[in-house]
Amino acid sequence: MFPKLDPLLHSELRLAVMSILAGVESADFTYIRTQTGATAGNLSVQIEKLDAAGYITVEKGFKGRKPCTTCRITPAGQEAFGKYVEALKEYLSSGAS
């Protein structure tokens, strides 16, 4: 039987955001938007969903006079992401038999 995939992480953009944040201490909104190619509006909505789930934290501030939004993955987010990756590996390995 296949493991259940976390529906929150099964979205392409949310998975991309989590993948980026899993490899860095933090990333700002502009960097994430550039890396994902997402529109600002769509990315903002997906970041809000990840934040509401407790998978990331979002800090809003300023760099000089410009607004800056910084995202970090939480321990709960790291755990959920790790489980998701492991579940995908099970899906992939079962098809290779």
Task: Please check whether residue 20 lies inside any domain of the structure.
Answer: no
Q: What is the mean pLDDT of residues 24-35?
A: 97
Number of domains forming the structure of the chain: 1
Answer whether residue 2 is part of any domain.
no
Taking the C-alpha atoms of residue 74 and residue 53, their distance in angstroms, rounded to an integer, is 10
| Residue 79, domain CATH | 1.10.10.10
Q: Does residue 2 sit in helix, strand or coil? A: coil
- Residue-number span of the structural domain to which 65 is assigned: 26-83
pLDDT, tens only, 34-69: 999 999 999 999 999 999 999 999 999 998 999 999
- 3-class SS shares of the chain: helix, strand, coil, % to 5: 55, 20, 25
Average pLDDT, the chain: 94
21 inside domain: no
Question: What is the spatial distance between Cα 29 and Cα 14, in angstroms, rounded to a whole number?
Answer: 13
Q: Please report whether residue 92 resides in a domain.
A: no
